[in-house]
Amino acid sequence: MRDRKKRKAGWIGSLIMALVLLMPAIAVHREHAHAESVPLKTGNYYYSLAPNAGQLPDNGAAGLVSSENGVIMDGLTTTYAGWMGSATAAGTVQVVIDLLKDYPIDAINVVLNAPNSYWGFKELTVKYRSEATMDYYYIAGKYVASGTSLNNSVNLPMDNKTARFIVIDMKRAHAYQHIPLTEVRIYKGTGEEGTVQSAAYTVEQMQLELKKDALMADKYGQWVYETWDGKVASDNQLRQEYAAEAGALQDVKLNKSKYDPYGGIKNGGHYKETGYFRLQQIDGKWWFITPDGYKFFLKGVDAASIWEWGYGTPYKKADGTPRNVFQELPDPAAYAPAYASDINGERVSFLVANIMKKYGSNFEAKWESITKKRLIDWGFNAFSKWSKPRFIRDFPYLELLQDPMDLKRIQWTYDVFDPQAPSIIEAAIAPRLKEVRNDRWLIGYTYDNEAGWNADIVKTVLTYGADSAAKQAFVDQVAAKYNQDIIAVNGILGTSVESFDDLKATSIDIANVPAEIVSDYIRLASSTYFSTVKRIIKKYDPNHLFLGSSIVPTWRTSLDWDSAAMGVVDAFSVDNYSNDPSWIARYASFNKPLLNLEFTFSSSQHGLSPVNGSTSVSGTKERGSAFEAFVEGQAANPLFVGSGWFSYYDQAVTGRRDNENFNLGLVNQQDQPYTDMVQIMKTVNAGLDAIHENGG
């Protein structure tokens, strides 16, 4: 999740077929809360993207649409505007409404009715501004779709706030989802209207409206439109919370009567000591074994660093102008460490500023002490993927070796057959391998992230010319399979070349390639990839494990790729944002230790968004309950050796550079633990070793 994504499920193929369908008329009508009022129908509206489904005049509308004549304000639920999903579909669609003058607004009602599960939306945000507020919008409300209902009528009270312009943002759950917009009803409230009807905004002016920000965050990075128990109101509150938590955790430390220094289980038997973490199958169950020879089941936390780039938020737009989403930014002089500019962009971290306010002088050391005690108290035993605290040396961790960006790229991955690839990879990762090769706290390495090969990669490779090493490898493999018989290969691939050299320079249609050949090629690519990386790791570090590359089982990979890795890696890792532990069955036949190094459960709260539908729950306590069911289900499997919760902190409510603003932390950006959740996790973590030992 750190740099992507969100997940497409295995039903994407069905969604692609649905692209050829147009949404039929929807006859469902849902009563709104203001049936006695007549909605305003004045002015015009404009779409950020012309609808390609629905009725005229909205379908295909690239200019202004009259509110009087347009289908989304006609009072009918049998008409709609729609946007078909596709591989390249925009993630968010917007509509801006110009009422021509200020009105007091009682409520805004948005109806999105869908005929089937291929239609819908992930999140709806409604914004507004008056004529007097020129530079930014206010947010009337956010709504996250949940459940399986196809009909959504979202009513947002406005309490007579003044608005001339209203913007509706509709976000897709994934690229292939079709978005329906059935009705927008704007109910006039009581109070004074604007006295003069202004000139209607032009298309160009409406486009500028869509680019304007909406106010979101206060000086602590908190959602400004809501109050809740514990919401930070002062620096003194943060300091008091630190003092209270430090006192509560004062005596927390690893129980040495129960665990070895690395968290190994002393009552689970003693096994060969090698001085480093390793893997062993005992009575049919896989375990990590600590350097001191005890069983260890990984209970990790991802991105456990205040310096993690994904916790920051851009404070400028792409054009360099300020984002008008903050009430107040941290003082850049007093909180200089909160600002950063690097390969991950220019950003500010309210998290860092809050840590500085909370812990005072020597803030990082104090924060690291609290963090380690928190994780021990909550039953976690490792820093898993991504970043970790800089100065904690005595806590198990994983190391992610990222693939260099100067490799020859193929979509989300790279050409594993390029003869230059091994030396490029070696130059990039060797320094770190040499640095940590003797670190007993290091469990092992993952390399790259969520980047396997599937038929989409093969399809791309087959269009390349003879200068592509990947294309050469494909042709060489086919030639060997058919005993260098170019006539036979022409008949199979639908080509008409005179030699295999000519075939390397010829574009090949994957539709003509037998599935067996595609599978063989993907397996060859996988074994080349994983063998290359493992050879480099072992050259510089013979002591530590190679744990794979965190594949997403249903996205950007294939079972061919995964299966070919099994004979190379020490354990196979996935990132699986799901609530179903039965994903393990996909790999059961390989008898390989399995890890899930990114998972989470999230909710829509305090302006933050959930990650996806399958891991979205209603609240904080429910996040803990979902964690319990999922991790216990995984732990009961004899192949499973541990997981990593993504992540330690929430993302910023104002979004990171790719607009993710997910509620996925154990702790919020004000450094306040989600107590109701982590107390459940504490109990669950304490029992996972026994569940793995006894099979549930």
- 110: Cβ–Cβ under 8 A, 6 or more apart, which residues? 124, 126, 153, 154, 156, 168, 181, 183, 184, 185
| Cα 488 off chain centre by | 46
pLDDT per residue as tens digits for the range 440-496: 999 999 999 999 999 999 999 999 999 999 999 999 999 999 999 999 999 999 999
Average pLDDT over residues 391-402: 97
The pLDDT tens digits for 551-585 are 999 999 999 999 999 999 999 999 999 999 999 99
pLDDT band of residue 675 (cuts 50, 70, 90) is very high
Task: Give the DSSP H or E segment for 81.
Answer: strand 81-83
For 612, what's the count of Cα atoms within 13 Å in the CB-facing half-sphere?
16
- E strand or H helix at 572, and its extent? strand 572-575
Q: Which residue has the tokens 């050259």?
A: 539
Cβ neighbour number for residue 237 with a 10 Å cutoff: 17
Q: In terms of DSSP bridges, do strands 442-447 and 397-401 run parallel, antiparallel, or are they unpaired?
A: parallel
Residue 25 has pLDDT above 60, yes or no: no
> Model confidence over 421-444: pLDDT tens digits?
999 999 999 999 999 999 999 999
Listed in sequence order, the DSSP H helices in 451-602 are: 455-461, 469-481, 486-493, 500-504, 515-540, 559-565
Q: Strands 44-47 and 92-113, how do they pair?
A: antiparallel
Q: How far apart are the first and last CA of the chain?
A: 29
Read off the pLDDT band of 195 (50, 70, 90): confident
> What does the alpha-carbon distance between residue 649 and residue 600 come to, in Å, rounded to a whole number?
12
| Average pLDDT over every residue of 189-198 | 89
Instruction: Tell me the C-alpha to C-alpha distance, in Å, between residue 54 and each of 21, 66, 78.
Output: 12, 16, 10
CATH class given for the domain over 39-210: mainly beta
**Is 572:444 a contact under the CB 8 Å cutoff?**
no
Amino acid at 590: F
Within 13 Å and on the Cβ side, how many CA atoms surround 628? 17
pLDDT tens digits along 125-176: 999 999 999 999 999 999 999 888 899 999 999 999 999 999 999 999 999 9
**pLDDT on residue 34:** 53
> What value does the mean pLDDT of the chain take?
94
CB 43 within 8 A of CB 98: yes
Please check whether residue 655 is in contact with residue 634, taking contact to mean a CB–CB distance below 8 angstroms.
Answer: no
In this structure, the strands spanning 123-129 and 151-171 are: antiparallel
Percent of the chain whose predicted confidence (pLDDT) is above 70: 95
Task: For residue 440, report the phi and psi dihedrals to the nearest 5 degrees.
Answer: -70, -20
State the average pLDDT over residues 183-189. Answer: 97
pLDDT for position 32: 43
Question: Under a CB-based contact definition with an 8 Å cutoff, are residues 9 and 173 in contact?
Answer: no
Helix (H) or strand (E) holding 645: strand 640-645
**Per-residue confidence band for 2, with pLDDT thresholds at 50, 70 and 90:** low
In the predicted structure, residue 184 carries a pLDDT above the cut 90: yes
Backbone angles phi, psi at 597, to 5 degrees: -95, 0
> Residue 148's pLDDT is what?
85
Sheet-wide strand order for 265-270: 265-270, 294-296, 285-289, 278-282
The predicted pLDDT at position 30 comes to 37
For residue 212, what are its two tokens? 């304007």
Tens-place pLDDT, residues 485-542: 999 999 999 999 999 999 999 999 999 999 999 999 999 999 999 999 999 999 999 9
* Cα of 301 vs its chain's centroid, Å: 16
Mutual angle of helices 363-377 and 350-359, in 10-degree steps: 100
Cβ pair 145, 119 in contact under 8 A: no
Annotated domain spans of the chain: 39-210
Confidence of residue 38 (pLDDT cuts 50, 70, 90): confident
Q: What pLDDT is stored for residue 12 in this prediction?
A: 38
What pTM was computed for the model?
Answer: 0.93
Residue 276 near residue 293 (C-beta atoms within 8 A) = no
How many whole angstroms separate alpha carbon 441 and alpha carbon 109? 56
Crossing angle of helices 235-248/363-377, nearest 10°?
Answer: 50
53 phi/psi in degrees, rounded to 5:
-150, 160
Per-residue pLDDT tens digits for 75-108: 999 999 999 999 899 999 999 999 999 999 999 9
Give DSSP secondary structure letters for 461-496.
HTT--TT-HHHHHHHHHHHHHTTT-HHHHHHHHT--
pLDDT at 136: 97
Q: Is 589 exposed, middle or buried (0-12, 13-18, 19+ CB in 10 A)?
A: exposed
